[in-house]
Amino acid sequence: MLSSVRGKTNNAGKKQGIISSEPFNQFLEDTKGDTSKAKQQVSDSIELPQAIALAQQTTATKQDSVSKVNTLIGILENINSCGAGSANSRIETSKNNNDQINTDIENINSLVAQLQNGEQELAQAKDVLTIYQLNSELKAAVDSVVSLYNSAIAENNQIAGEIETTQNELDQCQNTGS
């Protein structure tokens, strides 16, 4: 899994002529070629267990967003029933958003599996070069987790705001009709 990314990364760098041995040489110098020390250094710097936990929190936040979107759809359907105009396009948009959030959850779960596999690959790595390459790939994956978490929180907050606004719209409709 990560080895396919590794191959693509190495080939892309060679094509562009940007492979530099300096970072690897520094890593080799810092670890003195000791695989145990290299693994520990990577493990300490990447904090994989924390990244995996954060990815799982991201999944939970996305699942909460799915629940909130379903609530929003219910409110929009009530607006339609109230006769305050058609909310059909907003319902359709919300359903599409729900589908996208579910796809995001699948992708995040896949990322968790990749991080867990990377953690196992790191534990089983036999040479410093492999450890160094895993370090780069795992750092990129951890950065993705942090970014996904931040966007999941923002998305969840936005949906909560839409629920509040839409509920106010429904309340006005119901108060006008009473």
pLDDT for res 96: 97
Q: Tell me whether residue 76 is exposed, middle or buried, using C-beta atoms within 10 angstroms of its C-beta: 0 to 12, 13 to 18, 19 or more.
A: buried
Task: Give the integer Cα–Cα distance in Å for 173 and 155.
Answer: 27
Question: Which stretches in the chain have pLDDT values below 70?
Answer: 1-21, 84-85, 177-178
Task: Give the integer Cα–Cα distance in Å for 57 and 36.
Answer: 30
Structure tokens at 96: 């599409």
Structure tokens at 16: 């562009």
pLDDT for res 47: 85
SS3 breakdown of the chain: % helix, strand, coil, rounded to 5?
90, 0, 10
This prediction's pTM: 0.77
